[in-house]
Structure formats: C-alpha cells, structure tokens
C-alpha cells in the first residue's frame, strides 16, 4: 500500500497550498490513501464542515485531529456522521466523533487511529491502552492491509514510546501537534515506519503558524494579546510517503516530504 500523510494544516495558506499541490503528488506517487491532520485548518483553530468538504473533494481520504479539534463549534454539527474525520480516541466516553476508522479502497483496508498524548497536554485516558484495545480486534496482515497511528502529542519521548510499543503491530506511527518536521523518519526494528512529527502545512515565516509579530508580543509581555491570526505567506507542505507490504502490513520505506515556502525542499 502507498500512503501519503501530511502534517497539521494551519489556516488558509496551508489549506490552499496543499489543495493546489495534491494533483502533483497524486500523479507522481499514485497513493492508495492520502491523510492529513486538520485540527488547525479553520483559521488555526479547529475545522469546519466546508473546509472538510474542500479537503475531501481535493482527494484527501482521512482527516485526523487533536486537542483543537473542537475549537470551531461547527464541528459538532457533523463529526458524529463524518467517519472520515477523526478525533483522539482517548477522549472521555460519549465525546462526539470517532477515534478510529477502517477505510477500504481498491480491495485494501486501512485502519487509522488518532490518539493524544498526556505529557504537557490535557489529562485524557491512557493512550497505550486505548490503542491496544483497537489493535486487538484489527490484526495487521490479517484483518487489515495497513494501519496508522497519529500520535498527537507535545513530548517527543511520548511519541517515541508509542512507536516502540506498537512496533510490528502497525504499519506507521506519525507524531503531530508541534508543527516542526523532524529528521528521524525511519523504520523501527520490527517493521513499523516512524517519524516524531510530520510538521505543518503552513507558513513557516511565523511562530508555529501564527503571525510572528503578535505572537512575540504574547511571549514578551505575558499578557493576553488579541487578534493573533495565522501567518498568510507562502506555505511549506510537509509530511511522509510510506510504502507497505500488502501481505504483512509492515513498512518497506518511508520518505520525508518538504516542498515550497521557507523550508529547504527534500522532494523534487
């Protein structure tokens, strides 16, 4: 299976650039599934139904979330019914939406689990046990063709811990949330592809996607600053391209993608 997974979309710049570049990636790589983390797609805070539709119409198959998934209240109008939009699975019981999904295309089944870390984050349920419960009923190479965990977390150590805990049990573990692409894309000992953070689809002439001048005021003055908006310059697109073995479900390769904007490109 060929999988494209892009990092957190941040605001209009990230959305528009990703949608514009998707035809290039689809033609060049012919992916079976395309995923993106979309928790900051709506002006840097949450996601709306219109934005979801635009992303799905462009060719995105699955959108994962994180701690900002509910920031745009419009999401409550559709998240229960839209199985292609995920929120972290370890939110409390009865939280709207779904934390995982199984998606089928071209006679291939993909399991996607969205989970959130607990270090420096909201104290949600145990991410390890939450993931384990799902994997017990969706065996890689038997019930499903490939599987992915989006580990939305602050701490690199916690992301790595998830990677090693489920090495050999899933195809790919990606970290999201910190908006900075890491240089550690590799295959773990038992065959799971891993990266600590996919980075961001957004303007890197910013502070993690936000206007740098307003954000600097917040850091220096330590008082609430109003009107902080997403940076609106040319966006960089960051993510990974992973190929898996359809029989075992394990990863054969993982390549970092960085294209456009302020960051040095890793892709041609």
Residue of 68, 152, 177, 179 marked active site? 68
CA angle 153, 242, 204 (to 5 degrees): 50
CA angle 131, 136, 90 (to 5 degrees): 20
Q: Are 172 and 193 in contact, with CB atoms under 8 Å apart?
A: yes
Question: Which of 108, 97, 95, 31 shows the shortest CA–CA distance to 64?
Answer: 97
Question: Which of 153, 184, 4 shows the shortest CA–CA distance to 65?
Answer: 153
CA 236 from chain centre, in angstroms, equals: 15
- Per the annotation, the verdict on 179 as an active-site residue is no
Distances (CA, A) of 189 to 1, 2, 47, 112, 164: 20, 20, 36, 21, 9
Provide the annotated active-site residues.
Answer: 68
């Amino acid at each position: 299976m060929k999988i494209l997974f892009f990092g957190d979309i941040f605001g209009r710049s990230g959305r528009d650039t990703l949608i514009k570049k998707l035809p290039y990636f689809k033609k060049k790589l012919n992916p079976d599934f395309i995923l993106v983390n979309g928790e900051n797609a709506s002006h840097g805070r949450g996601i709306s139904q219109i934005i979801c539709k635009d992303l799905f119409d462009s060719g995105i198959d699955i959108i994962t979330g994180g701690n900002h998934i509910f920031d745009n209240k419009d999401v409550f109008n559709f998240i229960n019914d839209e199985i292609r939009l995920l929120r972290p699975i370890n939110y409390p019981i009865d939280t709207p939406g779904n934390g995982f999904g199984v998606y089928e295309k071209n006679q291939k089944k993909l399991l996607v689990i969205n989970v959130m870390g607990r270090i420096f984050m909201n104290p949600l349920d145990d991410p390890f046990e939450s993931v384990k419960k799902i994997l017990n009923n969706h065996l890689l190479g038997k019930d499903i063709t490939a599987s992915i965990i989006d580990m939305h977390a602050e701490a690199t150590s916690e992301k790595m811990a998830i990677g090693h805990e489920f090495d050999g049990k899933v195809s790919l573990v990606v970290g999201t949330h910190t908006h900075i692409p890491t240089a550690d894309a590799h295959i773990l000992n038992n065959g799971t592809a891993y990266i600590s953070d996919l980075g961001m689809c957004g303007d890197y002439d910013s502070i993690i996607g936000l206007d740098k001048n307003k954000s600097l005021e917040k850091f220096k003055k330590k008082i609430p600053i109003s009107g902080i908006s997403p940076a609106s310059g040319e966006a960089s697109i960051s993510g990974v391209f992973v190929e898996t073995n359809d029989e075992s479900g394990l990863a054969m390769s993982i390549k970092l993608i960085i294209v456009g904007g302020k960051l040095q490109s890793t892709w041609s």
